[in-house]
Amino acid sequence: MAIQEKIPSAILQRAQSWLTDAYDEQTRNEVKQLLAAQPEALIDAFYKDLAFGTGGMRGIMGVGTNRINNYTIAKATQGLSNYLHHLYKDKLLQVAIAFDSRNNSQRFAQKAAAILTANGIEVYIFDDLYPTPLLSFAVRYLRCQAGIMITASHNPKEYNGYKVYGEEGAQLVVPADQHVLQEVNKVQDISAVKVGSDASKIHSIDEEVVNAYKQQVLAQHFFDVKQCVTKDLKIVYTPLHGTGIQLIPKLLYHQGFKNVSIVEKQATPHGDFPTVLSPNPEDPKALELALQQAQQLEADLVIGTDPDADRVGIAVKSENGPMQLLNGHQTGALLSYYVLQSWAAKSKFRGNEFIVKTIVTTPLIEKIAAYFKVPCYNTLTGFKYIAAVIQKNEGIKKFLLGAEESYGYLIGDFVRDKDGVSTACMLAEMAAWLKTQDKSIYTFLLTLYQKFGYYQEQIHAITQQGKQGAEAIKAMMQRYRASDLKSLNNQRIVMIKDYWKGQAKDLLSGKTNKIALPLSDVLQFITEDESMISIRPSGTEPKIKFYFSVKVPFDNLPKAQQQAREKLACLKHELLMA
């Protein structure tokens, strides 16, 4: 009893509601263990409901309302079912479902399918694990009203998640995501979830959909690899125990690449991700085995995808031989230039093309777009916002490419989420095109720096776990908003953008303009030397992130890198001490 007295009454009541017969015996026993001996863990598991952030509903697997489990999956699916029935009155409803290689992903997918059918909804589900971009494609191809992807993307093995897609094949944005959340919150008791699965309403997604997606990927090219000598282009690929193994090696082969080496220790899908601490291609350690294999083979290109194959990390051969990892900003810039110059070379521009990036992604992409006289739109962080811009301009303007710093890219609009599969194919194509000119991706990047200046970015993240951590992050944002910063690193701050207020203040003129984006908890400082610092709490993880971007002249790489490092160190020190 003394332990339970430490638990706030509302949280205690919520936890005790999971001790009824509505929950299975294993779940009840786990809750009892938390009540008996782990009050802090119980508070964290029950103090809130999982919400839809930039990547949907994502969390640690376990018992509790703030965890991913059969019951939070059931509640979310019932809320989604109610939302769909309200939105599409008297219409036959269809939902597509896919899942990745994570522990419990297939079980959660089947749970969602059962509840959807209990609500009279037809379900199309993949029999095997497949990448997120294929789910996005399937929603549109099958003319479904929604889609569900069971994945936690690049998070560690303890996590899983539930991404919801609308009929356009994109993740939900305001107000749809809030409407779904409202419906989910109305499902206060698990007894409100409809049961009684109708197996006749569950249909397997067949090879027709998979093949249609493959055809779209292969049709999207600027350079015919098969018309050149590519046998000496060496590629090393790792799916990091995820879904990419299903499609990427086969598609590379069909493109014409015959020398693709798979990292065998990471080729088999596995929810424990036994060879890495985190299956995140942003983490250099995740690609260590691929880099070792590339060095042994003297490969030109390393490609790694996360478990649901929507993110891509790459390494390329440097001038002096060793493989060089590229970050998401660099890869995004390379793809942007390659796609735009390819359109220009083929005289395809009609004046209505555009590209999109997020507000924390390198300004170098904007410079590249301006060079080709193509508009570059900025969105909030989260690829769903890039998809929203595509949808808004559909039939009016031509979308060419989207990029976000967290290793997410999309070329063409047949998918409405970041697509690691088609991106992997485009990167391989770019490498082959350059090789025919005795160039490499690495030297191509240096050419961009010579043309536009050297840009370098860095992220600093502070993790704060649990309820207290969330409050600490909120307090940090309040402190920065209340600060009276006028300069950083001896450079005047010329612009402060507060996306929570929807305002951009020009400190030189004193004018304040409206930001034409949805309100979001992001604060951005821009200095007179084009440095950009963005502060943003993560929508899917218990973190606050600081995004730094600096620009310096480019004479040679070592000098530019040193100047950029010094700038970044000063900015980071001053901001964190402010």
CA-to-CA distance for 546 and 302, rounded, in angstroms?
Answer: 28
Query: Domain of 547?
Result: 454-577
Strands (E), 216-339: 235-238, 260-262, 301-305, 312-317, 323-326
Residue 292 shares a structural domain with residue 367: yes
3-class DSSP state for residue 533? Answer: strand
Does 61 reside within a domain?
yes
Amino acid letter, residue 188: Q
3-class DSSP state for residue 437? Answer: coil
3-class DSSP state for residue 66? Answer: coil
pLDDT in tens, 451-509: 999 999 999 999 887 778 888 898 999 999 998 899 999 999 999 999 999 999 999 99
Residue 573 shares a structural domain with residue 521: yes
Quickly state the pLDDT bin for 225 (edges 50, 70, 90).
confident
Amino acid letter, residue 55: G
* pLDDT for position 441: 97
Residue 516 shares a structural domain with residue 410: no
CA-to-CA distance for 255 and 521, rounded, in angstroms?
Answer: 43
Task: CATH number of the domain at 134, please.
Answer: 3.40.120.10
Structure token digits, residue 169: 């094949």
pLDDT in tens, 323-333: 999 999 999 99
* H-run or E-run covering 346: none
Does 21 reside within a domain?
no
* H-run or E-run covering 15: helix 9-16
CA-to-CA distance for 462 and 107, rounded, in angstroms?
Answer: 33
pLDDT in tens, 365-395: 999 999 999 999 999 998 999 999 999 999 9
Does 164 reside within a domain?
yes
Residue 513 shares a structural domain with residue 440: no
Residue 219 shares a structural domain with residue 316: yes
pLDDT in tens, 134-180: 999 999 999 999 999 999 999 999 999 999 999 999 999 888 988 99
Residue 89 shares a structural domain with residue 190: yes
Residue 463 shares a structural domain with residue 513: yes
Report the mean per-residue pLDDT for the chain.
94
Last residue of a domain, one of 452, 480, 511: 452
In which residue are the tokens 């083929």 written? 346
3-class DSSP state for residue 496? Answer: strand
How many domains, the chain? 3
Last residue of a domain, one of 429, 452, 475: 452
542: pLDDT strictly greater than 70: yes
CA-to-CA distance for 360 and 49, rounded, in angstroms?
Answer: 28
Give the CA distances from residue 453 to residues 267, 385, 449, 528, 572, in Å, rounded to whole numbers and listed in that order: 39, 28, 5, 16, 21
Mean pLDDT of 105-133: 98
CA-to-CA distance for 313 and 418, rounded, in angstroms?
Answer: 13
What percent of the chain shows pLDDT beyond 90? 84
- Known catalytic residues are 153
Does 18 reside within a domain?
no
Last residue of a domain, one of 157, 181, 205: 205
CA-to-CA distance for 64 and 80, rounded, in angstroms?
Answer: 20
